[in-house]
Amino acid sequence: MTPPDSLPAFVPGAVASTGRVALVTGGARRIGAAVVRALAARGYSVAIHCHASLAEARTLAAELEAAGLPSLAVTANLRDEGPVRAMVHRVADHFGRIDAVVTCAAIWIPGPLEEVTADDLRAHFDVNCVGTFIVAQEAGAVMVGQETGGAIVTLGDQAIARPALDYAAYFPSKGAIPTLTRSLAVEFARRNPRIRVNCVLPGPVTLPAGMDPAARAAAIAGTLAGREGTPEHVADAVLFLIENDFVTGVCLPVDGGRSITGSPVTP
């Protein structure tokens, strides 16, 4: 794969469209925005989904348009099934197809275990798990009718194996993503063998500003790579899973080796 720091930069008129279309949920910020840029650098037209960050989504879409790549900012609350399905169909209707879906949208609200309510748990499952399922189900239905099928990449979390404190609502919702991914891989392959579903399990990337220096040093030391991860590392793994047409049902950690060193992490 191309190293993340050598992905093509956007130059207006210099990036040729491939005719392929991608939908990225949570695509306006953080990892989602890095995935959008990586796909655009590969010549994809990109639909950028957001909920509360419409201004950022529109700005990024305008940047892609300036580079000669059709783009679209779309919005939907992933807790609302009807609008989510309508959002996917708007993308399909606008571009005429969907070739790739990457589900980056997520919520992670911390709180002591004693204060976590059933509504907190439902909110995390609704966005992180059910929202992922609905987007994949609806976009996959579009891909079933395409001769070339398509690729779906979900985002889980490497830390589900070693959950951090104070995220008792978040980790169960992310823990369901690998099973959801494998189930969808089996289901869609029966309907169109050219549809593949895979998962990326990111470790912490771009450690928080103002993080305690000792904690930052420990987090970096916990990687075999000996350095901090970036959203671009995750985006590069997403590209691999989209472009390799013989990989499906795989959950790929992108964590600098934390999953095998056992270093404690925070989301």
Residues belonging to the active site: 170
Amino acid 188: pLDDT: 98
Q: Alpha-carbon distance 35 to 42, whole Å?
A: 11
Using CB atoms within 10 A of its CB, is residue 44 exposed (0-12), middle (13-18) or buried (19+)? Answer: buried
- Distance of alpha carbon 259 from its chain centroid, rounded? 19
Q: Mention every residue, 6+ apart, whose C-beta is less than 8 A from residue 82.
A: none
Instruction: Calculate the CA dihedral of residues 50, 36, 68, 19 and round it to 10 degrees.
Output: -100
Amino acid 260: pLDDT: 82
Q: Can you give the residue ranges of every domain in the chain? A: 17-255
How does pLDDT run across 90-141, given as a tens digit for each residue? 999 999 999 999 999 999 999 999 999 999 999 999 999 999 999 999 999 9
Beta strands, E only, 185-241: 195-202
Amino acid 2: pLDDT: 38
Q: Alpha-carbon distance 1 to 70, whole Å?
A: 25
Q: Of 206, 257, 212, 209, whose CA–CA distance to 232 is shortest?
A: 206
Superfamily of structural domain 17-255:
NAD(P)-binding Rossmann-like Domain (3.40.50.720)
Amino acid 258: pLDDT: 83
Amino acid 210: pLDDT: 61
The low-confidence residues of the chain, meaning pLDDT below 70, are: 1-16, 206-212, 214-222, 224-227, 262-267
Determine if the pTM surpasses 0.85. yes
| DSSP 8-state symbol, 128 | I
Amino acid 228: pLDDT: 75
C-alpha pair distances (Å), 115 with each of 127, 159, 179? 20, 22, 28
Tokens of 43: 């010549």
Q: Alpha-carbon distance 89 to 97, whole Å?
A: 10
